[in-house]
Amino acid sequence: MTKNTQKSPWLWIPSLYMTEGIPYIVIIVVSVIMYKKLGVSNSDIGLYTSLLYLPWVIKPIWSPIVDLFGTKRKWFLNMQFILSLVFLGVGLNTGGSQFFFVTLAFFWMGAFASATNDIASDGMYLIALKPDKQSFFVGLRGTFYRIGMITGQGLIVMVAGYLETTLGDTTRAWSYTMITVALLMLTLTFINFLTTPKVEEEVVPNKSNEASFGKVFFTFFTKKNIGISLAFVLLYRLGESQLVKMASPFLLDAKETGGLGLSTSEVGFLYGTIGVIALLLGGILGGIAISRDGLGKWMIPMALSLNLPNLLYIALAHFQPESILYAGTVVVIEQFGYGFGFAAYMIFLIYLAEGIFKTSHYALATGFMAMGMMFPGMVSGYIQEWLGYTGFFIWVGIAMIPALIMAKSVKYPKEFGKK
């Protein structure tokens, strides 16, 4: 049951989706940079940090609980507070003798809280907005989600790099950085408490709820063309799922080992400044394009936009240019392409979630999305160490072929998403 609310989506969507993006990127990507700087190998980084995707893969198992009990608002506010405590725990344990496994344990707890936060936040978006508004705001939603990610991968990494230089102690630098992340999450949680609308009556346990728990799963897997739809979800980012794990190690590794030899601050700068501008343009234009013309016209162009820029990393790895300008150019093109191309993916996930259990079905869809990121990411470090960086990026280029085939084959209403 819902209530009417006068709070504008422009008020609450930005902070809500930043609070989705920041913990995700810190757990999945910034952890890669932290462990690289603290001396962990690429193979261990690829394997163990990819396993952190698992809560997003299996979140459909508990997503009906979010649908059936309490309210979405209560769920995401509680999870965001827990995430603040998790990052504080990471920050206080980076200097221990068993820091790798202790901090991984905290990241695991954070991954489950972040996945639950995603379920509830996405449920708020689907419940509070009508379908035409969902299409219109998908660009804003995706953009601020990515801004949250870039805040982590950019600004937070720049802070770590600055502290590395200032303190002369990498371990302390990352400890202070993670404590800063905890304070940032606490601040955003308070903002969301003030701005998000109360669009639901609280649901209490009853026999009807218990009966519908199993129905949530049944109705999802009996959707029309579900097989090809899930294949598309799993394969659309096959190349990116491997690139995202090894891009930062590539930029940070010394030239003697095939990398570009950039500093922590330079990597943060590339993703946190020029990358943000490119991302904003791509995400907003992608949402507007689908809202105007529908998903059918833009699926293939957006699939190409998301995947083709990955090929530019082959040239970076082969030539290993001295100037940061070349790496910056690749980041700009890749971020714009990702922002533009991801819009089609998000709209398709919204289409796949259509029905009476939108929140849970969206969680199921994004669970398969996370699976498509986890398994390729787990082997990415081993593939990179086997092929070297140039060979690895060639492999990433080959991996985009299934994505393009599925983008051509998947079934959906061509006008879906059109305002």
Convert the pLDDT of each residue in 252-269 to its tens digit. 999 999 999 999 999 888
6 — pLDDT class (breaks 50, 70, 90): low
Give the distance, in angstroms, between the CA of residue 277 and the centroid of all CA atoms in the same chain.
Answer: 18
Residue 207 lies in a domain: no
Rounded distance between C-alpha atoms, residue 334 and residue 311, angstroms: 10
- The mean predicted confidence, pLDDT, of the chain is 87
Residue 117 lies in a domain: yes
> Minimal CA–CA distance to 90: which of 174, 209, 30, 13?
174
Rounded distance between C-alpha atoms, residue 256 and residue 254, angstroms: 5
Q: Indicate the pTM of the whole model.
A: 0.77
In a 3-state reduction of DSSP, which class is residue 200? strand
The pLDDT of residue 356 is 75
Residue 403 lies in a domain: yes
Task: Judge whether 296 and 407 are in contact, CB under 8 Å.
Answer: no
The pLDDT of residue 268 is 87
Q: Which residues lie below 8 Å from residue 321, measured CB to CB, with a gap of 6+?
A: 260, 327
Residue 204 lies in a domain: no
What six digits make up the tokens of 242? Answer: 């491997």
Residue 417 lies in a domain: no
Residue 320 lies in a domain: yes
Asked if pLDDT for residue 188 goes beyond 80, the answer is yes
Rounded distance between C-alpha atoms, residue 31 and residue 378, angstroms: 14
Q: Which residues lie below 8 Å from residue 347, measured CB to CB, with a gap of 6+?
A: 135, 138, 290, 295, 416, 417
Task: Judge whether 22 and 9 are in contact, CB under 8 Å.
Answer: no
Amino acid at position 188, single letter:
L
Convert the pLDDT of each residue in 25-78 to its tens digit. 899 889 999 999 998 888 899 899 989 989 988 887 777 788 777 788 899 999
Domain count for the chain: 1
Q: Which residues lie below 8 Å from residue 339, measured CB to CB, with a gap of 6+?
A: 142, 143, 146, 278, 279, 280, 281, 282, 283, 284, 285, 286
Convert the pLDDT of each residue in 118-156 to its tens digit. 888 888 887 877 766 676 777 778 778 878 887 888 889
CATH number of the domain to which 165 belongs: 1.20.1250.20
The pLDDT of residue 2 is 44
Convert the pLDDT of each residue in 278-328 to its tens digit. 887 898 899 889 989 899 999 999 999 999 999 999 999 999 999 999 999
Residue 4 lies in a domain: no
Q: What percent of the chain has pLDDT over 90?
A: 51
Give the distance, in angstroms, between the CA of residue 93 and the centroid of all CA atoms in the same chain.
Answer: 25
The pLDDT of residue 37 is 92
What six digits make up the tokens of 89? Answer: 């725990």
Rounded distance between C-alpha atoms, residue 295 and residue 345, angstroms: 9
Rounded distance between C-alpha atoms, residue 186 and residue 203, angstroms: 26
2 - beta bridge partners? 200
Asked if pLDDT for residue 204 goes beyond 60, the answer is no
Residue 380 lies in a domain: yes
Rounded distance between C-alpha atoms, residue 25 and residue 145, angstroms: 10
What is the domain extent for residue 348? 9-199+212-409
Q: Where are the alpha helices (DSSP H) in 151-206?
A: 157-167, 170-195
Task: Judge whether 184 and 49 are in contact, CB under 8 Å.
Answer: no
